[in-house]
Amino acid sequence: MGWSGEHRDFAVETFFKNNESVIATQRAFRRHFRLGRRAPVPDRKTILLWVSNMRATGSTLKRKPPGRPRSVRTPENVQTVRASIEQSPRRSSRKHAAALRISDRSVRRMLHQELGMHPYKMILAQELSERDWKTRRTFPGHLISLRGDIGWPNRSPDLTPCDFFFSLGIPKS
């Protein structure tokens, strides 16, 4: 659950007031914010994380993630990709990446995560003609096999669909 700054501040302040007791902090949190019995409260790990952040940085907010800063997925590049997609939406993401001189994976990641677009490919389906509808209505009475259409017996107790399927139309004996 996303906790607001007010929730975080209250939990850290209460943690120090209650002699660093997580359980007492959770109970006070529930009372202060008038939460029901089954309503979620910050768990032990979350409260201790907020406290360690407060001690280290003076803030309960997340620390800046360690590691290399983003170099490709910047807001400017995201807007460039958005403009490129809007300009020619039928072009593939690979061709957009080549034109923008950004890696293909980075472009797909920006499309999916920042812009909320999902990959798909348009497939044209054939429309059924009147003859196809008639064929589809008579189909249940036949079995299609390598030897051509075979008439399907009506309610034969000794022949099952598996008998026909495995033997390619020749009933098992």
- Helix, strand, coil % over all residues of the chain, rounded to 5: 50, 5, 45
In a domain, 149, yes or no: yes
Domain count, the chain: 3
Give DSSP secondary structure letters for 51-111.
HHHHHHHSSSSPPPPPSPPPSSS-HHHHHHHHHHHHH-TTS-HHHHHHHHT--HHHHHHII
Same domain, 117 and 72: yes
Per the CB < 8 A criterion, the answer to whether 31 and 11 are in contact is no
pTM over 0.75: no
In a domain, 165, yes or no: yes
Same domain, 120 and 146: no
Q: Of 57, 76, 99, at which residue does a domain stop?
A: 57
Same domain, 105 and 153: no
Same domain, 118 and 144: no
Q: Determine the 3-state secondary structure of 172 from DSSP.
A: coil
Residue 107 class from Cβ within 10 Å (0-12 exposed, 13-18 middle, 19+ buried)?
Answer: buried
What's residue 65's pLDDT? 72
Task: Place 5 in a pLDDT band, splitting at 50, 70 and 90.
Answer: confident
What's residue 149's pLDDT? 60
Distance CA 111, CA 16 (A): 44
Instruction: Specify the DSSP element, H or E, that contains 149.
Output: strand 148-151
Residue 83 sits in which domain range? 68-125
Instruction: Specify the DSSP element, H or E, that contains 28.
Output: helix 22-32
pLDDT digits (tens, 9 = 90+) for 6-47: 999 999 999 999 999 999 999 999 999 999 888 999 999 999
pLDDT digits (tens, 9 = 90+) for 73-123: 889 999 999 999 999 888 888 999 999 999 999 999 999 998 988 877 667
Cα→Cα distances 20→6, 25, 27, 47, Å: 19, 8, 13, 10
Per the CB < 8 A criterion, the answer to whether 82 and 117 are in contact is no
Comparing 132 with 171, the larger pLDDT belongs to 132
What's residue 131's pLDDT? 76
